[in-house]
Copies of this chain bind each other. A is one copy, B any other.
Amino acid sequence: MNFKCLAVALAISATSAICYGQTSQPAVLDDFKPSTVNQPGQEYPQVNSQGYARFRIMAPQADSIKVSLGLGGRGGTRLTKGADGVFTGTTEGPMDEGFHYYHLTIDGGVFNDPGALNFYGSTRWESGIEIPAHDQDFYALKDVPHGNVQQILFPSKSTGTSRRAFVYTPPDYGKDKSKRYPVLYLQHGWGEDETAWSNQGHANLIMDNLISEGKTKPFIIVMTYGMTNEIKFGGMRNFKIDAFQTVLTDELIPFVDANFRTIADKAHRAMGGLSMGGMETHTITLNKPEVFDYYALLSGGLYTPAEFTGKAKPKLIFISCGSKENPTGVKKATDALKEAGYNAVSFISDKTAHEFLTWRRSLHELAPMLFNQ
């Protein structure tokens, strides 16, 4: 983090306080720039240094366009039609730093913003916008050695198909052809898929940067689709872990161990996940304590000491969330675990909610603690 970014962050923070606390608005600075996740060459959507987002949609004969993004619970941002048939509008206040999914409602129908890149969330590809974070440097694309993210198709008898996963291999994987690596199995949230952690999560860049600074051991990350069961397009009520657990532990892990230079034992295997992926991590690590030794729940539930009764202690229990989520619950849970003699660590992402900046930061905190015991 540099001081310029810090100053911006303080500005955003101060502005947010005013904005949420009163109905009067601060002056909106006219330094809007295209969002960093726009489609190539697209000028809109834009973001200013305070975190306001501005939209511009051409649809001369449309009557109404609304952007789903806006201040919490206030129903998004309604755009105004100009004489030129172009709809424009700015969020009524600054957005939280980091990545946000959104969509347009055009004359009552749901569409994506043609200016923005799409990211898989809510079981569909949605528009995304990035509000620059004061600490964005840790996931920036830099001139450091880069690892690769590769798509693999692994055979899955239990689901009768070839299934897709993405595998991050660290920068030196291609150099020293005899070196073997630990593996983190890292899950997305509900409605997302196996693309989330590298697209909107920047897991690969977070790792590349940490490794280049000597802050974490190089390890492999494997990301696959976790909505293997009947909850696919429904809610979480009837969630059963069996289908995904079978894919993960009986099919994917053996495939990865056979095709990548892994250290194929429990002491060198971690599982983590965000939101629904945290719930999956919670259940699978407890069902299969012989498979993983490092556990991480990112805005995805808690562990209690009682759940480990009769089980070997894992080497690490990491629990995190955004400060706008349930920080007290997370801290209480890790305190109870520590008191019971577990190596438990909590992390609270400052001024973020149930969104990807929370999880980027969580991975950045988690990685250096993995595979070092």
Contacts and interface: CB of A to CB of B under 8 A. Distances in A.
A162 B147 CA distance: 12
A105 to B, nearest CB: 9
Nearest to A208: B153
Contacts of A64: 61
A134 interface: no
Interface stretch (A116-124, A272-280, A306-314): A116-124
A254 interface: no
Contacts of A58: 108-110
Given A114-B112, A124-B40, A162-B143, A60 B149 contact: no
B61 A108 contact: yes
Given A124-B39, A125-B117, A151-B150, A112 B111 contact: yes
Given A118-B125, A124-B114, A141-B153, A62 B260 contact: no
A350 interface: no
Interface residues of A, number: 54
B123 A259 contact: no
B141 A41 contact: no
Contacts of A232: 40-41
A165 B217 CA distance: 25
A78 to B, nearest CB: 13
Interface in A2-60: 39-42, 57-60
A149 B150 CA distance: 5
A8 to B, nearest CB: 24
A288 interface: no
A106 interface: yes
A306 to B, nearest CB: 38
A40 B314 CA distance: 37
A142 B160 CA distance: 11
A146 interface: yes
Contact of A59 (B39, B109, B175, B258): B109
Contacts of A108: 58-62, 85
A259 B169 CA distance: 12
Nearest to A151: B149
A155 B141 contact: no
Contacts of A175: 259
A208 B151 CA distance: 14
A208 B154 CA distance: 13
10 contacts: A39-B125, A40-B232, A60-B108, A62-B106, A106-B109, A106-B111, A109-B114, A111-B114, A142-B162, A174-B259
Given A62-B108, A117-B125, 5 more contacts: A59-B106, A61-B63, A104-B111, A141-B161, A143-B162
